[in-house]
């Protein structure tokens, strides 16, 4: 096949724009020769199960899947009966970006709570945590949080623990959407376990694609008693890979040798460089102070900025990124494992050019 794209192009729209990490490509090649038993009875999936138990606890089970929506839908479906409901932030990916899949595929109800920074608290959860035994109301049986959140903010281990204690005290399981869980771990300088299993999370959607994998994610069941039947649900919901060794080999690569944390830490550092460069530009007076602002803290690999929509559109003609809330001029700039310092610095120059035009 002839290469069809310009390999020098860089965007700041999503970490999904990045390719596959070279170490992951090597791992796929290593796993490719010969035959292995299909549907998860291969040696790579067995090894992944061992690694996950070492990371999350001896009870933990791992279920590789193809994508993040599949991981979230399966995890939440396994947690509750059809009359159950999930409490989540109003900006949660399961609410805003999954095409209604949790509700349409599983028949579950989402109770969403407005949050200024994408983070739930026990007090916020309490606004929807009621009505148990009332046949007229879907039963709140799970809470779903995201780390890092869709707004690029972080839950600390203590914050997750407080949510877990509240949830469990009210008979609700706790799910964590970890599409960018490695970025959270890198930003917090902790292991994955410290803000998941040790903090009381029951089930985790373990992201990989946004951190250099080729379409590989997983569900980590930290408390198997909370998610019976997951193995059957995976098949029913078309997430069972026949050649599972290739999913498992990729996920293994994130754990072994520390690639997951290294890649995420680099993406986080590039976002910090972008934010710092823009702030220096403002502080120096190179651009008018009112021309650029920031709507969220930059705690991982996302920068949320505020600028005139006409300026944003001009910048976007040169470098792709997404509007977050066009009504208020809010945009999102994402960094990935392969974003370079030169990429960031060039983007800052483009922003400067358009703000001073």
CATH code assigned to 22-257: 3.40.640.10
Given pLDDT bands bounded at 50, 70 and 90, which one contains residue 357?
confident
| pLDDT for residue 163 is more than 90 | yes
Please write the tens of the pLDDT for every residue from 63-83. 999 999 999 999 999 999 999
Dist CA 241 CA 251 (whole Å): 14
**pLDDT average, residue stretch 77-98:** 96
Q: What is the pLDDT of residue 74?
A: 97
What is the pTM assigned to this prediction?
0.97
Q: What is the CB-side half-sphere exposure of residue 267 using CA atoms within 13 A?
A: 36
| 3-state secondary structure (DSSP) of residue 164 | helix
Q: What is the CB-side half-sphere exposure of residue 351 using CA atoms within 13 A?
A: 29
Other Cβ atoms closer than 10 A to 24: 24
DSSP, residue by residue, 204-272: EEE--GGGT-SS-EEEEESSGGGSTTHHHHHHHTT---TTTHHHHHHHHHHHGGGHHHHHHHHHHHHHH
Dist CA 353 CA 357 (whole Å): 6
CATH code assigned to 261-355: 3.90.1150.10
Work out the percent of the chain whose per-residue pLDDT is above 90.
99
Give which of 278, 269, 292, 264 is closest to 341, Cα–Cα: 269
| pLDDT for residue 42 is more than 90 | yes
Enclosing H/E stretch for 85: strand 84-89
Going from N- to C-terminal start, the domains of the chain cover 22-257, 261-355
Please write the tens of the pLDDT for every residue from 293-328. 999 999 999 999 999 999 999 999 999 999 999 999
Phi–psi pair at 352, nearest 5 degrees: -60, -45
Dist CA 168 CA 175 (whole Å): 12
Please write the tens of the pLDDT for every residue from 168-193. 999 999 999 999 999 999 999 999 99
Q: What is the pLDDT of residue 306?
A: 98
């Amino acid at each position: 096949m002839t290469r069809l794209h310009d390999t020098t192009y860089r965007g700041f729209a999503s970490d999904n724009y990045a390719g596959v990490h070279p170490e992951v490509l090597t791992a796929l090649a290593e796993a490719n020769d010969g035959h292995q038993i299909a549907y998860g009875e291969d040696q790579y999936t067995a090894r992944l199960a061992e690694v996950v138990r070492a990371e999350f606890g001896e009870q933990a089970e791992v279920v590789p899947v193809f994508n993040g929506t599949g991981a979230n839908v399966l995890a939440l479906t396994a947690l509750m009966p059809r009359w159950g409901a999930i409490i989540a932030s109003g900006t949660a990916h399961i609410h805003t970006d999954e095409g209604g899949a949790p509700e349409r595929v599983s028949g579950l109800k989402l109770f969403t709570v407005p949050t200024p920074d994408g983070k739930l608290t026990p007090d916020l959860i309490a606004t929807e945590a009621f009505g148990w035994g009332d046949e007229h109301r879907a039963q709140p049986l799970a809470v779903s949080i995201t780390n890092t959140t869709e707004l690029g903010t972080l839950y600390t281990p203590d914050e997750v623990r407080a949510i877990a204690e509240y949830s469990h005290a009210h008979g609700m399981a706790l799910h964590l959407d970890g599409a960018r869980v490695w970025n959270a771990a890198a930003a917090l300088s902790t292991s994955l376990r410290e803000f998941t299993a040790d903090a009381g999370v029951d089930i985790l959607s373990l992201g990989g694609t946004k951190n250099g994998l080729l379409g590989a994610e997983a569900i980590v069941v930290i408390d198997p008693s909370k998610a019976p039947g997951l193995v059957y649900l995976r098949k029913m919901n078309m997430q069972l890979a026949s050649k599972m060794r290739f999913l498992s080999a990729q996920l293994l690569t994130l754990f072994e040798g520390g690639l997951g944390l290294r890649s995420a830490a680099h993406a986080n550092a590039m976002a910090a460089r972008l934010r710092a460069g823009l702030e220096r530009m403002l502080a120096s007076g190179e651009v008018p102070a009112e021309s650029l602002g920031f709507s969220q803290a930059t705690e991982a690999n996302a920068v949320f900025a505020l600028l005139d929509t006409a300026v944003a559109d001009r910048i976007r003609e040169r470098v792709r990124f997404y509007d977050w809330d066009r009504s208020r001029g809010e945009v999102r700039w994402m960094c990935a494992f392969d974003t370079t310092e030169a990429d960031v610095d060039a983007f800052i120059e483009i922003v400067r050019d358009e703000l001073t035009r």
